[in-house]
């Protein structure tokens, strides 16, 4: 029998660094709590994150700030149409003194990878990134190198500018645990942003958490208690994207080309546990599942041409599913 009180006490003590990270990130980022929470969920769940929003919403700044607040290595890669896989992974270089080829590692060999404007690189570069994201390893020549933990790819893309871009294929989108849509700040937040940027006092973000603490927290996240009713709730949501007739959702069947994969169920369960951990709770409640559901599912549901013609979004479909599925 799981002792929830014991788990609760353990998480109360081990999740103390979450507030420290929020405070440190708050020095550089005004508002955007939804985005910073999702970055922490990805970090604690060992999942990659895709941030989408118009330029100037602090996507890149948020990722750089998170990396600065953790004792870890950080690499920024600006994706461009002329980028080659070797620019990302590294290559074999001939050493004339030794008369042999040696490996020169690329920027992928870091803990945090900022893939800026990921949809600007061609398919072969995106394919090279796939092995690193899924297998946590890189092959250069005939050698395979394991990437150091924690390893996290945080990618950004601009939804407005589509000229000269390469849309991410479904297989690669599915490798991202979360797809987070960034919205504009409120008027009060934007006033604070203006004041912060015009101020003469520059605030430096300091490392407040070690890599080992993050790795330890990842193990603790998996210990968060999830009741069988919550598991059934997650399965009901995911299966509604494939078999919409079951929950009286026959009206959305014509809108869905393909539903979410089993990876969605795994990630939804894991993200719900990470969200509970951030809220310093040792057990998952239905509100945790609903909180992360949009970010987990929005890039895993394929829309039909009919849905696109009617300007129906995956978020609208997820809303209908959440309203229809019975909450435990």
Q: Are residues 243 and 210 in the same domain?
A: no
State the pTM of this model.
Answer: 0.85
Q: What is the pLDDT of residue 275?
A: 93
Q: Are residues 137 and 166 in the same domain?
A: yes
Overall number of domains in the chain: 2
Nearest to 244 by CA among 140, 298, 303, 320: 320
CB 102 within 8 A of CB 92: yes
Angle made by CA atoms 273, 126, 49, in degrees to the nearest 5 = 20
What residue has token string 């990921």? Answer: 118
Q: What is the pLDDT of residue 297?
A: 92
Q: pLDDT by residue (tens digit) across 271-303?
A: 999 999 998 888 899 999 999 999 999 998 888
Q: pLDDT by residue (tens digit) across 27-54?
A: 888 877 888 889 889 989 988 999 888 7
Position with higher pLDDT, 9 vs 233: 233
> Over the chain, what is the mean pLDDT?
84
Q: Are residues 283 and 209 in the same domain?
A: no
What 8-state DSSP symbol labels residue 194? H
- Which CATH number do you get for residue 308? 1.10.8.80
Is residue 73 over pLDDT 80? yes
- Give the Cα separation of 314 and 321 in Å (integer): 11
Q: Is residue 219 part of a domain?
A: no
Q: Are residues 57 and 102 in the same domain?
A: yes
Q: Is residue 220 part of a domain?
A: no
- 3 state DSSP class of 2: coil
Structural domain span for residue 310: 225-324
- Banded pLDDT at 244 (limits 50, 70, 90): low
Q: pLDDT by residue (tens digit) across 207-227?
A: 888 888 888 889 889 988 898
- 3 state DSSP class of 172: helix
Q: Is residue 145 part of a domain?
A: yes
Q: Are residues 109 and 196 in the same domain?
A: yes
Q: Is residue 253 part of a domain?
A: yes
- Give the Cα separation of 272 and 285 in Å (integer): 8
- Which CATH number do you get for residue 151? 3.40.50.300
Q: Are residues 190 and 319 in the same domain?
A: no
- Give the Cα separation of 210 and 164 in Å (integer): 39
């Amino acid at each position: 029998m799981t002792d929830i009180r014991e788990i609760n006490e353990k998480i109360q003590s081990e999740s103390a660094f979450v507030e420290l990270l929020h405070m440190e990130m708050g020095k550089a980022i005004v508002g955007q709590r939804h985005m910073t929470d999702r970055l922490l969920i990805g970090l604690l769940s060992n999942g990659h994150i895709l941030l989408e929003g118009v330029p100037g919403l602090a996507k890149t700044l948020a990722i750089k700030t998170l990396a600065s607040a953790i004792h870890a290595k950080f690499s920024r890669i600006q994706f461009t149409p002329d980028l080659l896989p070797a620019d990302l992974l590294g290559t074999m270089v001939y050493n004339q003194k030794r008369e042999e080829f040696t490996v020169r590692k690329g920027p992928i060999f870091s803990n945090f990878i900022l893939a800026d404007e990921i949809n600007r690189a061609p398919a072969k570069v995106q394919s090279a990134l796939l092995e690193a994201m899924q297998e946590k390893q890189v092959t250069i020549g005939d050698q395979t190198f394991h990437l150091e933990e924690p390893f996290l790819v945080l990618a950004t893309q601009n939804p407005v500018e589509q000229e000269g871009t390469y849309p991410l294929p479904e297989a690669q989108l599915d490798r991202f645990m979360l797809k987070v849509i960034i919205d504009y700040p409120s008027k009060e937040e934007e006033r604070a942003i203006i004041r912060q940027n015009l101020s003469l006092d520059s605030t430096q973000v300091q490392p407040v958490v070690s890599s080992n603490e993050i790795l330890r927290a990842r193990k603790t996240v998996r210990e968060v208690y999830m009741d069988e009713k919550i598991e059934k709730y997650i399965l009901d949501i995911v299966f509604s994207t494939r078999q919409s007739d079951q929950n009286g959702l026959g009206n959305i069947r014509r809108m869905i080309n393909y539903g979410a994969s089993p990876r969605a169920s795994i990630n939804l369960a894991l993200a719900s546990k990470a969200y509970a951990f951030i809220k310093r709770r040792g057990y998952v409640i239905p509100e945790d599942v609903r909180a992360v559901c949009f970010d987990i599912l929005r890039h895993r549901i394929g829309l039909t041409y009919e849905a696109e013609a009617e300007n129906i979004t995956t978020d609208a479909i997820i809303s209908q599913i959440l309203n229809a599925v019975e909450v435990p």
